[in-house]
């Protein structure tokens, strides 16, 4: 039943856009165009964020430095390359709510997850189990299973999962707590995806961390779907580590670099094992090629290689926009944008489309996962033909993620109208 309070006209969507203090940021992005020259309704920032128009120029700048300076570009030029990763740290720390020495941009997500597991999954004869969510992203599952086998354990025995209850799709917080309590004295590590890539459920990082720590386990998070999306407070949450990627909400480009957070209580602790490389070594003596490893104080000690400058350029360039917009402002807009999407979808009736994602704003980010009853892939193909880019997960779930950085209320309205016309 249509809510009597909701104005479903395009004019209403446009009024909302006119009141949006962040509306000008859309102009800073390339919005993909259809064959007829019209812009797509792009609601897929949870998969790949759009390209800022300034990215090309920023890459050209470094190509120019390379062209003009060759190896001297490491120390000269507009942005000398040796400390290039440092340029990203302040904005990245703001995005995830961390202190500067707790955050570094390096490698890619799954690589970083393995590096974190080397340091924070340290099984012994009393504790060796790992707890994950049953619907963990496949790469996370593969990473923890291979780490278990690497340490001589059988995942069938040592990998514990929390499932949604029979007939439900979301995880109940109390079930996570119960599982932690059940395996508490044997749990070495807890790893959750946050926000869940499929359901869009945002789990309470601090609470899970507290439950895990009470039972003596290390607690880490895969924040691929949370970074640049929700207001993460990684430092205050107290979690031990987190990893994320920069190609989704952070608009760093396809396959772009990963981010790592290690809580400051673990920094400069020589008892923590770590896979090491020369870029984690003391900056003052790195080029003296000394024999003994002298770790940089802070999370940079986990770096292995020198910064891949050309891959870092788009990430830094995009982070500048995040700094300008402010993560809290983006989150405020996101709550309205996704709330508006939810209200529109609810007018279709639960018997036609069910929203899997939690309705509480603090338990979700931008994404809504829509379960369309009796739909097939044809529906997805039809809305794509009509100019919508979202993604489809078998058997019949559409993931829709209005990104507050560049999506408008009109985008949401257009998606809703195209979906409705194709049901
Ligand atoms: C939740 C989640 N975890 C891990 C990954 C894997 O990331 P990468 O391929 O950068 O290692 C992805 C990729 O989309 C993801 O969505």
The residues, ordered by sequence, that sit 6+ positions from 209 with a Cβ below 8 Å of its Cβ are: 219, 237, 238, 239, 240
For residue 4, what pLDDT is reported? 55
For residue 310, what pLDDT is reported? 98
Smallest CA separation from ligand 1 atom 4, residue: 139
Determine the Cα angle at 120 with ends 118 and 123, to 5°. 85
Q: Does residue 289 lie in a domain region?
A: yes
Q: Does residue 57 lie in a domain region?
A: no
**CATH number of domain containing 362:** 3.90.1150.10
Q: Which atom of ligand 1 is nearest to the CA of 193?
A: 1
Cα–Cα distance list, 80 to 66, 74, 253, 302 (Å): 10, 5, 22, 21
Q: Which atom of ligand 1 is nearest to the CA of 113?
A: 11
How far is residue 224's CA from residue 232's CA, in Å, rounded to a whole number?
12
Enclosing domain of residue 146:
82-323
**Cα-to-centroid distance, 276 and ligand 1 (Å):** 23
How far is residue 15's CA from residue 41's CA, in Å, rounded to a whole number?
18
Spell out which residues line ligand 1, taking CB within 6 angstroms: 108-110, 137, 139-140, 193, 197, 222, 224-225, 245
Q: Do the beta carbons of residue 26 and residue 403 sit within 8 Å?
A: no
Whether 418 and 271 map to the same domain: the answer is no
Whether 97 and 201 map to the same domain: the answer is yes
Residues of the chain with pLDDT under 70: 1-4
How far is residue 35's CA from residue 243's CA, in Å, rounded to a whole number?
38
Whether 393 and 350 map to the same domain: the answer is yes
Q: Which atom of ligand 1 is nearest to the CA of 255?
A: 10
Q: Does residue 314 lie in a domain region?
A: yes
How many CB atoms are closer than 10 A to CB 163?
Answer: 13
Q: Which atom of ligand 1 is nearest to the CA of 196?
A: 1
Angle between helices 309-325 and 327-346 (to 10 degrees): 80
Smallest CA separation from ligand 1 atom 10, residue: 109
Q: Does residue 64 lie in a domain region?
A: no
How many CB atoms are closer than 10 A to CB 276?
Answer: 15
Question: Which is it for the CA torsion 237, 361, 358, 48, positive or negative?
Answer: negative
- How do residues 243-269 score in pLDDT, each as one tens digit? 999 999 999 999 999 999 999 999 989
How far is residue 354's CA from residue 247's CA, in Å, rounded to a whole number?
28
How far is residue 326's CA from residue 311's CA, in Å, rounded to a whole number?
23
DSSP one-letter code for 70: G
Say what the alpha-carbon torsion angle 386, 391, 394, 395 is, to the nearest 10 degrees.
Answer: -50
Whether 411 and 270 map to the same domain: the answer is no
**Cα-to-centroid distance, 199 and ligand 1 (Å):** 15
DSSP one-letter code for 40: P
**Cα-to-centroid distance, 85 and ligand 1 (Å):** 21
Whether 333 and 281 map to the same domain: the answer is no
Cα–Cα distance list, 382 to 194, 386, 401 (Å): 31, 6, 19
Tell me how many domains the chain contains: 2
Ligand 1, from 48, 107, 110, 225: best to mutate by most atoms within 8 Å of Cβ?
Answer: 110
**Cα-to-centroid distance, 339 and ligand 1 (Å):** 26
For residue 194, what pLDDT is reported? 87
Whether 128 and 192 map to the same domain: the answer is yes
**Cα-to-centroid distance, 86 and ligand 1 (Å):** 23
**Cα-to-centroid distance, 110 and ligand 1 (Å):** 7
How far is residue 231's CA from residue 233's CA, in Å, rounded to a whole number?
6
How far is residue 396's CA from residue 324's CA, in Å, rounded to a whole number?
38
Q: Does residue 107 lie in a domain region?
A: yes
Query: Which H or E element spans position 179?
Result: helix 173-183
Q: Does residue 164 lie in a domain region?
A: yes
Q: Which atom of ligand 1 is nearest to the CA of 47?
A: 14
Q: Does residue 70 lie in a domain region?
A: no
For residue 2, what pLDDT is reported? 45
Smallest CA separation from ligand 1 atom 15, residue: 224
CA atoms within 13 A on the CB side of 243: 23
Whether 140 and 228 map to the same domain: the answer is yes
**Cα-to-centroid distance, 75 and ligand 1 (Å):** 33
Ligand 1, from 107, 135, 137: best to mutate by most atoms within 8 Å of Cβ?
Answer: 137
For residue 1, what pLDDT is reported? 43
CB-neighbour burial class of residue 165 (10 A; exposed 0-12, middle 13-18, buried 19+): exposed
């Amino acid at each position: 039943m249509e809510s009597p309070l909701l104005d479903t006209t395009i004019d209403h969507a446009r009024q909302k856009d006119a009141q949006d203090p962040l509306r000008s940021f859309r102009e800073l992005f390339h919005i993909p165009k259809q064959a007829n020259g019209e812009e797509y309704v792009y609601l897929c920032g949870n998969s790949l964020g759009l390209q800022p128009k300034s990215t090309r120029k920023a890459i050209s700048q470094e190509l120019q430095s390379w062209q003009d300076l060759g190896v001297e570009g490491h120390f000269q030029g507009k942005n000398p390359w040796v400390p290039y990763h440092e340029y990203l740290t302040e904005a990245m720390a703001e995005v995830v709510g961390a202190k500067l020495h707790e955050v570094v941009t390096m490698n890619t997500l799954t690589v970083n997850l393995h590096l974190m597991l080397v340091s924070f999954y340290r099984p012994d004869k009393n504790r060796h189990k790992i707890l994950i969510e049953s619907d963990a992203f496949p790469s996370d599952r593969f990473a923890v299973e291979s780490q278990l086998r690497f340490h001589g354990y059988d995942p069938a025995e040592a990998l514990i999962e929390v499932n949604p209850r029979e007939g439900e799709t979301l995880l109940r917080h109390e079930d996570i707590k119960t599982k932690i309590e059940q395996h508490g004295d044997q749990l070495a590590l807890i790893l959750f995806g946050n926000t869940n890539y499929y359901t869009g459920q945002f789990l309470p990082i601090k609470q899970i961390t507290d439950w895990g720590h009470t039972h003596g386990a290390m607690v880490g998070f895969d924040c691929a779907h949370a970074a640049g999306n929700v207001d993460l407070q990684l430092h205050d949450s107290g979690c031990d580590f987190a990893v994320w990627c920069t190609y989704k909400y952070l608009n760093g480009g396809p396959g772009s670099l990963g981010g790592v957070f290690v809580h400051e209580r673990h920094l400069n602790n020589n008892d923590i094992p770590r896979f090491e490389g020369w870029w984690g070594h003391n900056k003052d003596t790195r080029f003296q090629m000394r024999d003994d490893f002298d770790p940089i104080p802070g999370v940079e000690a986990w770096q292995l290689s020198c910064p891949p400058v050309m891959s870092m350029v788009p990430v830094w360039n995009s982070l500048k926009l995040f700094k300008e917009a402010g993560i809290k402002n983006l989150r405020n807009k996101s709550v309205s944008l996704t709330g508006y999407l939810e209200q529109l979808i609810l007018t279709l009736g639960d018997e036609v489309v069910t929203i899997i994602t939690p309705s509480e704003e603090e338990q979700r980010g931008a994404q809504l996962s829509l379960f369309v009853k009796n739909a097939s892939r044809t529906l997805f193909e039809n809305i794509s033909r009509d100019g919508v880019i979202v993604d489809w997960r078998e058997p019949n779930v559409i993931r829709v993620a209005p990104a507050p950085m560049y999506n408008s209320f009109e985008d949401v309205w257009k998606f809703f109208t195209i979906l409705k016309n194709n049901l």
